[in-house]
Structures are given as structure tokens and as C-alpha cells.
Amino acid sequence: MHRFDRTAIRLAGLVSILAAVSGIAGDLALQYTSNTEHLLSRQSLYLLDVSPGRLLLGHYLGVVAILVEIAGFWSVYRALRPAGDRYALPFFLMNAFGAMLGAAFHATFVFVGLTLQAQSRVGGTEYSEFTELLASFNTARIGLAIPALAAIVVGSLFYAFVVGFKPTLYPRWMAFCNPLVFLLLVVALTLTVPRSAIVLAPTAINVSHLLFFTCATIATWSGSAASNQRPFVPRIVA
């Protein structure tokens, strides 16, 4: 690979790291609450604890940051290209599509939050109308959340297969450094250390992407990044 191409991969990786950090900041601005009764509420009650200014800040910062994270998936796509575009391109398309769905899902929080806050102020006879509106919002959000999560799962498994069994710019161990593994680790940490939930619960996906992009960028910077140039053929010992 030419020096220009490797430099582009590294720069895109750095941009994606910055975008993931911004995404985490957007998640916290939009969803952070110290109220443990509202945390992880299925009705998104944590949005009642967020000021309208924070809702808007988290909304715009998060949407832009998640879309910019596509640069990181492009960087990984370029590093997977030695395996051929039939392996590298599906990874990029799956994850770029998932990021776009994730940005759209993130954009729904501000409307749910503003509606919840209006409901809490009005109450009384208007309560049922707000309840129906929120139910409609949640139905629409599910249609974004499920395929976005599916893209993370399928994209991560596909990436692990390509890095583990095909020639790429990554060492073999990078197959285990993927968004799904990091997301499961974040969830496990949240469950085992409940105090971490106030930060990790709203930021889990962007934290997993931050770890993934950081590992991928470091791997392309190190001298071992070119060590995975031959396909892996398991030996059968008689």
C-alpha cells in the first residue's frame, strides 16, 4: 500500500476517534441523569432530568458525531481491502448504514424528551394525548433501533471473520477487537459495577466504537499492521 493510502487510513482513524468522543459527549448531554429511579427507564424518564438546552446540545452534537464516525468505518474498509472488495465493501456498507440509522435514532430523543417535559408540566386532561403521542414515538424508534443493532452484530461478526481468515492490514488478534465484543464488555461492566451505569448506559455504543476505532488506528500505525498478508490456513495434525 502506498504511503498516501496508509496516511489517509490513519487520518480517518483519528477523525473517527474524535467523532466517537464527541458522540459520547452528545450522549451524556442528552441522557445523563443522577436520578437512579429514572436511569434505564423504558419510558425514557431520564429525559425529564435534562434541560431543554442540554437536549438540543446533545441532539445536534450526537447526530453529527455519529455520522462522522463513518470515516472510521471507511478507514477499516481500506485496511480490509487486501482481502478483496467482496469482503471489505460489505463491511463498510453494513456499518455505514448502521451509523446512519443510529444517527436517526439519536435524533428521536429530543422529541421524546420535549414531549415528556410538556406532559409533566400540563398533566390533567392532556395526559392521555401525550401518552398516545409518546407510544407512537416509541413504535417509530424501534424500527430504527433494531436494524441499527443488527448492523453492529452482523458487521462485527463479518469483520472478525475477514481479519481472522483473510489477508488484511491488521494482525490476527484484531479480529477480537470489534464493536460487538466491546459493547458486550461495556454491558458486562455496567451490570457488575452498577455505579458505572449512569455514564456507560447512555454511551455504550459510542464507547464501543471509540475502543474499536482506537485499536484499529493503533494497529495501522504499528509495524505489525502488515503481518496479516497471507490467508490463514489451519493445520491438521495427524
3-state secondary structure of 235: coil
- Local structure of 85: helix, strand or coil: helix
What pLDDT score does 3 carry? 59
Rounded Cα distance between 65 and 209, Å, is 12
- Alpha-carbon gap, residue 70 to 74, rounded angstroms: 6
CA distance 78 to 184: 26
Q: Tens digits of per-residue pLDDT, 108-138?
A: 999 999 999 988 887 654 556 778 888 888 8
User: How big is the chain, counted in residues?
Assistant: 238
Per residue in 10-50, pLDDT (tens digit) is 999 999 999 999 999 999 999 999 998 898 888 888 999 99
Q: In angstroms, rounded to a whole number, what is the distance separating the alpha carbons of residues 71 and 94?
A: 14
Sign of CA dihedral 176, 10, 82, 225: negative
In one letter, which amino acid is 213? Answer: F
The grid coordinates listed for 37 are 429511579
For residue 196, the 8-state DSSP code is G
| Average pLDDT of span 158-170 | 96
Tell me the pTM: 0.89
pLDDT surpassing 90 at residue 97: yes
* 91, 80 Cβ separation under 8 angstroms: yes
- Nearest Cα residue to 40 out of 204, 201, 184, 207: 201
Among 40, 62, 47, residue whose Cα is nearest residue 187: 40
Read off the amino acid at residue 207: V
